């Protein structure tokens, strides 16, 4: 809750794409499938000794996807865009320093 001295947050409008058009969504869905098929209760596709390597690769690809993604995703029909209002992210306010 903002007090009387806090200015209101600035907001900007972005156009969200369909989550079904999101590279991050499909990469994580495929990774989930590979991890699920690697459980010992299921036929093993990736041997257990490679699971930590697979987790590191997934983390690096997720970082790359996050850095290369500039638009939000929403549960909308593929091929459409929906306006989405989000808080503007800017530099932090200057520190309050005194003598």
pLDDT digit string, tens, across residues 38-95: 777 655 677 777 777 888 888 888 888 877 777 788 888 988 888 888 777 777 677 7
The C-alpha angle with vertex 91 and arms to 86 and 92, in degrees rounded to 5, equals 100
Give 49's DSSP letter: G
This model's pTM is above 0.85: no
Q: How far apart are CA 59 and CA 27, in angstroms?
A: 11
Q: Are 46 and 54 in contact (CB under 8 A)?
A: yes
Q: Are 10 and 90 in contact (CB under 8 A)?
A: yes
Q: Are 45 and 34 in contact (CB under 8 A)?
A: yes
Choice between 27 and 35, residue whose per-residue pLDDT is larger: 27
């Amino acid at each position: 809750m903002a007090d009387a001295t806090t200015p209101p947050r600035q907001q900007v409008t972005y156009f969200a794409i369909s989550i079904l058009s999101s590279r991050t969504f499909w990469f994580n869905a495929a990774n989930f499938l590979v991890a699920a098929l690697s459980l010992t209760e299921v036929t093993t596709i990736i041997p257990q000794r490679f699971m930590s390597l697979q987790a590191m690769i997934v983390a690096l690809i997720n970082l790359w996807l996050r850095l290369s993604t500039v638009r939000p995703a929403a549960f909308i029909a593929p091929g459409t865009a929906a306006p989405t209002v989000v808080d503007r992210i800017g530099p932090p306010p200057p520190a309050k320093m005194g003598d």
